[in-house]
Chain A
């Protein structure tokens, strides 16, 4: 799953640590989501959407194809 987390974070001028604080997760988790190595749970995805004031489908994009 692709995501726009890094772009949104830069737009809101937030560090990974600051975003992690707001989400109540570790900085490593934010980094893993940003780099596409980890897909967050639905509650966490909603929380991310809430922090940035965006719709969840604008942040997380399903990858088409077999990957």
Chain B
């Protein structure tokens, strides 16, 4: 009987590990997951395109674009690209069923708490080395490091089911 065969497959009923750890989604095979990943990849590609173009022309000794212009273009694109990714993630989240939504939200809550502890730790280090402080401690791109943390928490939380 099909149902009996299926129920013996409980161990296979978990979400794929690779999709969670690599992309922070439950599956790259579902239409919503695939769409979200594709759009994120396109958005990030657009963001790094000016830098890639600059590096290519720099190493080919052609100087059509100045470094300052590249930096300004990237800086201009940065908020738009990340706002777009956030918007796409919201759409992905809405498309999930109730358990998957709960896991994603729990993963975000744990990521926030992890980030909070990490920020406190960095702040402590900064206070400790106050005379030698430099701007890297305040770089907003540190927030980008939270994405792998979210992926890790998602994987860890999903293992409960």
Contacts and interface: CB of A to CB of B under 8 A. Distances in A.
A6 B7 contact: yes
Nearest to A26: B97
Interface string A26-43: 111101101101101100
B83 interface: no
Interface string A1-34: 0000010011011111100000011111101101
**How big is chain B's contact interface, by range?**
10 to 19
Contacts of B2: 13-15
A31 B15 CA distance: 11
Contacts of A17: 6
A31 B99 CA distance: 11
Contact of A16 (B1, B13, B14): B13
Given A25-B98, A26-B26, A29-B98, A10 B3 contact: yes
Task: Kindly state the interface size class of chain A when it binds its partner.
Answer: 20 to 34
Contacts of B108: none
Contacts of B97: 24-26, 29
A44 interface: yes
Nearest to B13: A31
Nearest to A41: B98
A16 B14 CA distance: 12
Interface in B1-48: 1-7, 9-10, 13-15, 26
Given A10-B1, A16-B13, A31-B13, A38 B7 contact: no
Nearest to A11: B3
Given A28-B15, A29-B97, A15 B6 contact: yes
B26 A10 contact: no
Contacts of A35: 10
Interface of A: 6, 9-10, 12-17, 24-29, 31-32, 34-35, 37-38, 40-41, 44
